[in-house]
Amino acid sequence: MIGKLVDLHRDSVGDWYRRYLQGGLEAVYQFDYGTNVSELESNAGSILKSFTEQPPMTTAEAKARIESLTGISRSPTQVRAFMKRQGLRYLQTGHIPCKADTEKQQIWVKEILDPAIAQANEGLCHLLFMDAAHFILGAFICSLWTKVRLFIKASAGRNRINVLGVVNAVTKEVLTLTNTTYITAETIIDFLKQLKTHYADKPIKIVLDNARYQHCKIVEKAAKDLGITLLFLPSYSPNLNIIERLWKFTKKKILYAKYYESPAKFHDAVARFFQTINAKHHADLNSLLTLNFQYFQNILTAEIYPV
């Protein structure tokens, strides 16, 4: 009778009546819509523990793992939605040097690099970060926003061009020397002479790694004769050399999704990029080449899929 009077199904009226008997009028006012917990949510603890210990590579793998752990079968779309609700994201893995010593890096920065940065900021010296990169003519694939998958032509052979460069820690100015043979100790010495001519007004300090063609007696003597101070990085410390970010930026601009039909055009593209980089990409360099360094600590590492 009540259902007919209020135009509601008898089951709804019966539910409200039972609530009233159990908890009075307050229970009738309670709104419980959408509060049911799904089976996946109920088992989220064990699922996330498994995914933390061994993250799945694909949604299909996650789906199979969930079925194995809980017996619950859900579609890939539902599994993907569940993982997103739990805060999981599909992220590309990174890599770090296995022998990096964070403590040594921090001591080096505090005792060697920070004083040099302070002197450079006060205008007492030019602080440069130096390294060499080897750009290879080939197909560098990347992700693009596009309606259909695109294919990049792959050049024949493995022609390369070597770029020895420095970044000024304060001005972010980039200077380079290129060749198509090898970077040797003699190449480093020629570049040091070039830098001495360019930065003749103040003492020069250069941060560089321990590559053999750099960390050798002939280079150290040449630097001393030129009045240049070499600040060698701790071993396995690419994270402390801001020029590494420049090389990544360079690849993004001139190699990713690019096809060069001949080595000459490839070399020309690299040369033109560095000839115009200071004027054309000054804002990018200021943003990219900050003196903030990431240490290899508090970073999750794992042998997820041992061979």
> What pLDDT, on the 0 to 100 scale, is given for residue 156?
73
Task: Name the nearest CA neighbour of 231 among 109, 89, 57, 103.
Answer: 109
Q: Are residues 131 and 208 part of one domain? A: yes
46 and 121 in a single domain? The answer is no
Q: In this structure, is residue 20 part of a structural domain?
A: yes
**Is there a single domain that holds both residue 283 and residue 163?**
yes
Question: What CATH number is associated with residue 114?
Answer: 3.30.420.10
Q: Is 31 in the same domain as 44?
A: no
What is the rounded CA–CA span in Å between residue 170 and residue 118?
A: 10
Based on the fold, state whether residues 80 and 213 are members of the same structural domain.
no
State how far the Cα of 168 lies from the Cα of 242, in Å rounded to an integer: 10
Q: Of 85, 115, 148, which marks where a domain is finished?
A: 85
The pLDDT assigned to 301 comes to 62
Q: Are residues 14 and 63 in the same domain?
A: no
* pLDDT score at 307: 46
Task: Assess if residue 90 is contained within a domain.
Answer: no
Residue 297 lies in a domain: no
**Which residues pair with residue 129 across a beta bridge?**
167, 207
Asked if the structure places residue 302 within a domain, the reply is no
> CB–CB of 291/113 below 8 Å?
no
Q: With respect to residue 31, please indicate whether it lies within any of the assigned structural domains.
A: yes
My answer on whether 13 and 132 are in the same domain is no
pLDDT given for residue 302 in this prediction: 58
Provide the token pair at 165.
């460069």
> Domain count of the chain?
3
CB hemisphere CA count around 126 (13 angstroms):
21
Q: Are residues 52 and 31 in the same domain?
A: no
* Residue-level pLDDT, tens digit, the chain, 307 residues: 776 776 777 777 777 777 778 777 776 666 555 555 578 888 999 999 999 888 999 999 999 999 999 999 999 999 999 999 999 988 878 776 777 788 999 999 999 999 999 999 999 999 999 999 999 988 788 887 788 888 888 777 678 999 999 999 999 999 999 999 999 999 999 999 999 999 999 999 999 999 999 999 999 999 999 999 999 999 999 999 999 999 999 999 998 888 888 899 999 999 999 999 999 999 999 999 999 998 876 555 655 555 4
Rounded CA-CA distance 141/102 in Å is 33
Helix (H) / strand (E) element for 130: namely strand 126-136
DSSP letter string, 141-204: ------SS---PPPPSS--EEEEEEEEETTT--EEEEEESS---HHHHHHHHHHHHHHTTTS-E
- Tell me whether residue 135 is in a domain: yes
pLDDT of residue 149: 86
Instruction: Tell whether 249 and 146 lie within a shared domain.
Output: yes
307: in domain: no
Task: Measure the CA–CA gap between 134 and 154, rounded to whole angstroms.
Answer: 18
213 with 238, same domain? yes
- Give the DSSP letter string of 253-291: HHTBT---SSHHHHHHHHHHHHHHHHHHSHHHHHHHS-S
In this structure, the answer to whether residues 182 and 74 fall within a common structural domain is: no
User: Does residue 301 sit within a domain?
Assistant: no
Residue 263 and residue 213 share a domain: yes
Nearest of 166, 172, 239, 242 to residue 204 by alpha carbon: 166
Our CA dihedral for 108, 131, 97, 51, rounded to 10 degrees, sits at: 110
What is the extent of the structural domain holding 76?
A: 40-85
